[in-house]
Structure 1
């Protein structure tokens, strides 16, 4: 039933993304844009332009949803998310360094730098959070992520302020948007998405064992260190690739995973694929909402998800604190 509801919601979100915006599209224009390539009306062209944007938002939402689920499973932290752990900011720093010092400008160049930045930042945050008594506890990981994100954001600002050409290229990307989607960018993104999703689906049963504790998981034959490394790399791959293509969009992993966990329980065999669906739905509907709120312009989707996600994060953190007491 949940799967059917998600699929229906996804279809409705796709239709809304194609029809709604600063220029609403009528039904016959939607049909012309989708099925009648010989029709060259303004409405049909608007629909064709929005198709790539809609596909891109679906893919990015799915990637961020699965990335959040994997990071929460690996760290055993209910509020882990690429944006909260500073991974997005690390990817942003490497991209802005590439723009400023290496003169990069293409999606292929962005994606490798973003992946390197995301991976290094994830390792750094986990290393800092693991220090001291108790190891990598959820609160220590969040604090390490917040501190790292603040420091890296300062470095990003220090690099772009004296370089106006970098600021012009970087400022729109930094907010997080799917509006500049092209089929070329989607083609570049798909291999990373498929590898990350495949690894997430394959590791789900072992991650269920990991949730019982390292000792129990080892007794069940799980190599906990190898599993954490592989699952974390998949999460970083999905997050880094998305950040390179669309900018640092936050809170999708947190929102989608928590919604699914509340409905279906803790089994990652269901959470990971359903987080992909719910992440695609949340990001796509947030993009539509940004277009409607900012009409005749648009509000970037990263701003919309931040407005939605920040209160949810506070609520989740408060509930987690109450349970721990």
Structure 2
């Protein structure tokens, strides 16, 4: 009797082997397509704005600036805005992917552990107590707030005899987040100057940021990106459980601490530079997982490319919709992210903690 008559697929045992060999090629091809998409969106980000500038003039302003008004717009505004979008988008996407891996919840994001609220609370304190009025000053307060919040959440989540668990970290983050939001509301209502400044900063926008801000946050974002990518292997091991992960050479406590540090750097620097922007760190890793599966090496690499593509694409859309005015990118990502999140939840069963 033949294999087909016995109900065995015609390919036999070779079919799974062939699939395992094909999967990396498909992922690599998908990554190449993602890079091409990012290049197209970068070109649009530099070319599209409130003022119409021919593409040839844009290229001339990029590579052979002559000091004309159009060249200044391209060099000093659109190019800086695009580079900032690349850096911030990568930071938010990787921060979201790390949080989802650390909490074992594919719908988690940095806001779950109060990182964004910690950065915002520190900015409010800097405005109200130290009279910080420049965006360059917000960077340090936001980074400190994000780092302190990450430390507090991890300390609360590991307090006691038992080891840190995803549930304990989430509960600790929820408690810290609620306390920070209450503190932010209290400070902003008591101090009108803080409220007015925070209202402008908290919209979440790439517009109006100088190259000095980009230079300030870039070292923190680069450090966080390198650290996040280096944790891909240990996170894959911990996905099998702490005991098996330890047997494979991963150190659960060390991995979680380094993951928290990476999240603080990425989310703190991104939030300080452009304000809180939602859904990028939530939607992109979840959507990418449908293509890459749970392998953190592919997942983090895809997020590094597609997260800035989403952020810059949303920014370009915000410039077009109400032209010659603009919609802040935080508003656009919220409008795009909510229905996408609902669709993803409806299509797949989301693993519970």
The TM-score with structure 1 as length reference comes to: 0.89
Are the aligned partners of 2:105 and 2:352 in contact in 1 as well (CA < 8 Å)?
no
Number of residue pairs aligned between Structure 1 and Structure 2: 323
Change (3 A) 1:145 1:298: farther
* 1: CA distance, partners of 2:328 / 2:150: 26
Inter-partner Cα distance in structure 1 for 2:188 and 2:153: 24
Change (3 A) 1:318 1:141: farther
Task: Please state if 1:226 is matched with 2:226.
Answer: no
Out of 173, 195, 201, the residue aligned to residue 223 of structure 2 is: 195
- Give 1:32-111 correspondences, 5 Å limit: 32-40=60-68, 42-48=69-75, 49-111=77-139
For residues 239-293 of structure 1, give each alpha carbon's deviation from its aligned partner in whole angstroms, at most 9, with x where no partner exists.
0011111111111111221222111111111111221111110110111111112
Instruction: Give the TM-score taking structure 2 as reference length.
Output: 0.83
| Cα distance in 1 between the residues matched to 2:346 and 2:156 | 24
Deviation at 1:105, TM superposition (A): 3.2
Structure showing greater Rg: 2
Query: 1:1-325 maps to which residues of 2 (within 5 A)?
Result: 1-40=29-68, 42-48=69-75, 49-125=77-153, 136-137=165-166, 145=173, 148-316=176-344
What are structure 1's unaligned runs of at least 5 residues? none
| Whole-Å separation in 2 of the counterparts to 1:77 and 1:127 | 20
State the shift of 1:179 in Å.
Answer: 0.8
* 1:111–1:245 CA contact under 8 A, matched in 2: yes
- Give distance in 2, aligned partners of 1:201 and 1:59: 15
- C-alpha contact (below 8 Å) 2:150/2:261 kept by paired residues: no
Q: 64-73 or 110-119: which moved more?
A: 110-119
Per the alignment, do residues 34 and 135 of structure 1 end up closer, same or farther by CA in structure 2, a change over 3 Å counting? closer
Distance 1:84 1:308 in 2: 20
Whole-angstrom CA distance in 1 between matches of 2:170 and 2:282: 13
- Contact 1:79–1:317 (8 Å) recurs in 2: no
In 2: Cα distance, 1:108 partner to 1:39 partner: 26
User: Once the two structures are superposed, what CA deviation does each residue of 1:85-144 show, in whole Å capped at 9, x if it has no partner?
Assistant: 331112101111111101223445322321222233334455667799997456x76676
**In 2, Cα distance between equivalents of 1:320 and 1:85:** 24
Unmatched 5+ residue regions in structure 2?
A: 1-28
RMSD: 2.7
Q: Is the 8 A contact 2:102 2:166 kept in 1?
A: no
